[in-house]
Amino acid sequence: MNYRYSRRYAGKLQAVIFDWAGTVVDFGSFAPTQVLIDALGGFGVEIHMAEARVPMGLAKWDHIRALGDMPQVAARWQAKYGRAMSDGDVDAVYEAFMPLQVAKVGQYSQMIPGALDAIAALRAQGIRIGSCSGYPRVVMDTLVAIAADRGYSPDCAIATDDLAAGGRPGPWMALENVIRLGVGDVAACVKVDDTVPGIAEGLAAGMWTVGLSASGNEVGLTHEEWVALSPIEQAKRRAPAVEKLYAAGAHFVVDSIADLPGVIAEINARLAKGERP
């Protein structure tokens, strides 16, 4: 006799797993990008902000490698050094990048407006707060301490070099949060991120995904610059970010973490109907 076991999770959300820069801290995601610009500038190779943002969400070594593979950046490196950027060169840039990132991460990592209230609302519902990042552990330890002083202490913080399997766009950091937070079903988790690799991470882990358009890498403005725009200008800047995040597979896209509680309510309603990510 053949038996088939079927189980469909219909409870409420148990955990939300946040990215860091552009999601909970650092409106516009400037800490990773500007420091990469500074690091490559130290090697005499100019990188523009728009270029630095293209691989955002990847582990930082992979981010540098991806920049070096971009045709326009590769041409500048070739012109400077007479050869293509090697993995050894990536190692050297990464070694220069690391102390700069540790020194400067706090300068950019103010809490995004509405983040603390949104997280408090989640905790009031019994939702656990996880996190992961493209930052390596040495940067994460610095950032976690800074964020704690500013009122944010997630229940779990996974860095991109914590796991042998690697980082985004794979599911491993998100799934490590599931393990450490003791969540019983990935369908009870939401991954919140401002980048395409971060959305891919959540989808690969079998989670609900929420993309953040205005606060993150895709729009790339400070909070002051964003709120200074007219509604028409905001709509123009938001639209391509929303399209890109939905194209990556995000289940929902909102401006910032401040808009998350309403999304959480909608996901809970869909779970109650037996829907899965």
What pLDDT does residue 8 have? Answer: 80
Q: Is the pLDDT of residue 266 over 60?
A: yes
Rounded CA gap, 84 and 73, in Å? Answer: 10
What is the count of structural domains for the chain?
A: 2
Examine the domain organization and report whether 53 and 133 are in the same domain.
no
In a domain, 2, yes or no: no
Domain containing residue 73: 32-108
In a domain, 73, yes or no: yes
Q: Which of 244, 212, 190 is nearest to 24 (CA)?
A: 212
Q: Is the pLDDT of residue 258 over 90?
A: yes
Q: What are the pLDDT digits (tens) for 58-99?
A: 888 999 999 999 999 999 999 999 999 999 999 999 999 989
Rounded CA gap, 65 and 188, in Å? Answer: 35
What pLDDT does residue 32 have? Answer: 86
Examine the domain organization and report whether 49 and 131 are in the same domain.
no
Q: What are the pLDDT digits (tens) for 173-202?
A: 999 999 999 999 999 999 999 999 999 999
Q: What are the pLDDT digits (tens) for 219-230?
A: 999 999 999 999
Q: Which of 194, 211, 206, 195 is nearest to 251 (CA)?
A: 211
Active site residue 149: no
Q: Is the pLDDT of residue 3 over 50?
A: no
Active site residue 244: no
Question: What pTM was computed for the model?
Answer: 0.90
Examine the domain organization and report whether 91 and 114 are in the same domain.
no
In a domain, 235, yes or no: yes
Domain-ending residue, one of 108, 128, 159: 108
In a domain, 158, yes or no: yes
Examine the domain organization and report whether 131 and 57 are in the same domain.
no
In a domain, 3, yes or no: no
Catalytic residue among 19, 193, 194, 255: 19
Strands of the chain, DSSP E: 15-18, 128-131, 189-193, 208-212, 252-254
Mean pLDDT, the chain, integer:
94
Instruction: Please count the other Cβ atoms lying within 10 Å of the Cβ belonging to residue 185.
Output: 17
In a domain, 8, yes or no: no
What pLDDT does residue 9 have? Answer: 86
Q: Is the pLDDT of residue 138 over 60?
A: yes
What pLDDT does residue 144 have? Answer: 97
In the structure encoding, which two tokens stand for residue 45, read together? Answer: 């190779």
Residues 6 or more apart whose CB falls under 8 angstroms from that of 2 comprise none
Residues 6 or more apart whose CB falls under 8 angstroms from that of 90 comprise 61, 64, 65, 68
Q: Which of 14, 6, 94 is nearest to 268 (CA)?
A: 14
Examine the domain organization and report whether 266 and 208 are in the same domain.
yes
CATH of the domain at 21: 3.40.50.1000
CATH of the domain at 58: 1.10.150.240
Catalytic residue among 26, 60, 62, 194: 60
Examine the domain organization and report whether 219 and 231 are in the same domain.
yes
